[in-house]
Structure 1
């Protein structure tokens, strides 16, 4: 493991920041300092950007402009800036979205997060931010590098506040609200009714039947995940409903564009809980979705440049 350098993807990091906000020089400089060092020497992570769509938070797509997730942990957790209402957009607090439901404000700023890496001040839930015991530790070198950087002068806020933002409360409320939103959504109710033949046979509240959908331009495919993706009888009859949903979501948040893939779980009580993918080029009938169809979607529903996936440029 000591011969493996840190994975670093500056393009994805820059693209993960909300439109109009650039990746801070400190983060880019840290990536340069980290480049080539052995993975695990200051923590077990990769410096790679991702959107809230893929982060461990329910229905995260609408939150793209509230996060800049620049660090990934081996268990699927994500770390990055939180651009919540009323927070400093020039130097936001750094939060962790844990794969096991741990949502925590890790540091009040990026500089403070890097300082915590040097002092190894992370609890058990965030142990991947600690150095790997089997790799030579570079936290002292990181501390020396940070100490040698010029101190940027920041204007004093008009009103100083010692109140710590309640990040866990924000995520929990978001999840509850979105679950209620979809549980009471007209189209989800109709989708559950149309797919009633596929209700899970289990008795547990968490039992569900999983489906995958791809829509790119005029192309469409829906599969039920039963011993792998399988066609199902009702697929054609729900296409118009899913296309209507896609259009409705675009009208509600136009900067996201049109999603290309959707997965959802059908629960025993008929609830449908969806997840949407705006970035992946889906496979339809065994082949990647046609680029011309995807570009037609993009022309009709344009996005900020940094939110256009590479395969579509």
Structure 2
């Protein structure tokens, strides 16, 4: 089974795997890890339920596709567009940090291509130390998606945070009322 099939099987019913996330999975099938820093593709499918236990409505609004080394979760936030290719990519952080990282899966690929070790913790305004190690992934997304990656990720993350400012409140409001 291809990794993209495993990730797709974990998505909410009716939500298609975005092309850019499929590209990440295809890179992993062809090259193995690392993709970028500590980022890993999630094929377990249990993370939305662990963040929003007993609330299938909330679980359907999050399509998990990745994890960081500290237990953080990377997902699509499906409340803004019916097209998953246009959904913002969010971080559900292991220490309660909830933020929008990229406006879309395509921009998330560019952010991964920068080469940060841990998107949850690294200063995205600095040049990442793992940039050289991420060269194969950058070449892959350039060839497959026509994407170039900036030297830093701060503009991608800041623009996404400005465009989708309510994510942290959305999560914490649910937590306050349900946990």
TM-score normalised by structure 2 residue count: 0.70
Indicate whether 1:53 and 2:49 are aligned. yes
* Aligned residues: CA RMSD: 3.1
Describe the superposition over 1:119-160 as per-residue Cα deviations: whole angstroms up to 9, x where unpaired. Answer: 246877344xxxx97x89442232233223356xxxxxxxxx
Matched with 1:177 is 177
Alignment of structure 1 residues 203-218 onto 2, 5 Å: none
**Which of 89, 93, 99 lines up with 2:88 in the alignment?**
93
Give the secondary structure class of the aligned counterpart of 1:125: coil
Give the secondary structure class of the aligned counterpart of 1:39: coil
**Which of 69, 75, 79 lines up with 1:74 in the alignment?**
69
Counterpart Cα distance in 2 of 1:112 and 1:124: 13
> Which sections of structure 1, spanning at least 5 residues, go unmatched?
1-7, 152-161, 180-313
Counterpart Cα distance in 2 of 1:178 and 1:100: 18
Counterpart Cα distance in 1 of 2:108 and 2:39: 13
How has the CA–CA distance of structure 1 residues 83 and 122 changed in structure 2, closer, same or farther, with 3 Å as cutoff? farther
Matched with 2:139 is 144
TM-score normalised by structure 1 residue count: 0.43
Higher strand share: 1
Counterpart Cα distance in 2 of 1:37 and 1:118: 15
* Greater RCO (Cα-Cα under 8 Å, separation 6 or more): 2
Count residues in correspondence: 154
Higher helix share: 2
How has the CA–CA distance of structure 1 residues 170 and 65 changed in structure 2, closer, same or farther, with 3 Å as cutoff? same
